[in-house]
A and B are shown apart, each in its own frame.
Chain A
Amino acid sequence: DGGITQSPKYLFRKEGQNVTLSCEQNLNHDAMYWYRQDPGQGLRLIYYSQIVNDFQKGDIAEGYSVSREKKESFPLTVTSAQKNPTAFYLCASSMQGAGYGYTFGSGTRLTVV
């Protein structure tokens, strides 16, 4: 059953700690994306990757880091430098080329305590 999996579903972090959110897909999609969803602000792009070993900053990359060592995986690290990390994080993937939409994961809700 193909799809995109995010884990964990809920995550709690103490201030000052880094935390990594997992995103795995078995759809053979080339491109992967990380979005942050906050009430009233829609989905804001954090990072994206169009090919293995390459990634680009989105609109709100500060305080985040990513890696793309495998096609299937695109983990997001929320560092202690992120000033307001409590949010809902969505991972998505897509095929390259015109006309292909995104497939989304179910999301990870991160809470800083």
Chain B
Amino acid sequence: AQRVTQPEKLLSVFKGAPVELKCNYSYSGSPELFWYVQYSRQRLQLLLRHISRESIKGFTADLNKGETSFHLKKPFAQEEDSAMYYCAPHGKLTFGQGTILTVHP
């Protein structure tokens, strides 16, 4: 079955520590993958798209076809990064379960 999996529901780190939010996909072809973020009391918004290979708010994500992963990384976490993060394919598929990231001072 085609799906995206985020194995960690909760992730806690301290400010300044590196953070990696995991995302694995299990479908064939060339996936169009995105990371979305939902800050407290804000609507869900696009953070990163794999096709652009950009860095947004210090976050990067590389598509690894060998490992079928699209992990989100940031070398030095900030308190304002605390939010819900979703890894998602574009189109007609259900999102992953999401990971709640908490960055402690």
Contacts and interface: CB of A to CB of B under 8 A. Distances in A.
B11 interface: no
A2 to B, nearest CB: 14
A107 interface: yes
Interface of B: 6, 9, 32, 34, 36, 43-46, 49, 51-52, 86, 88, 90, 92-98
Contacts of A35: 94-95
Nearest to B52: A99
Contacts, number: 57
Contacts of A44: 94-95
Nearest to A107: B43
A26 B101 CA distance: 32
A56 interface: yes
A41 B43 contact: no
Interface string A77-112: 000000000000010101000111111111100000
Most buried by A among B43, B49, B51, B88: B43
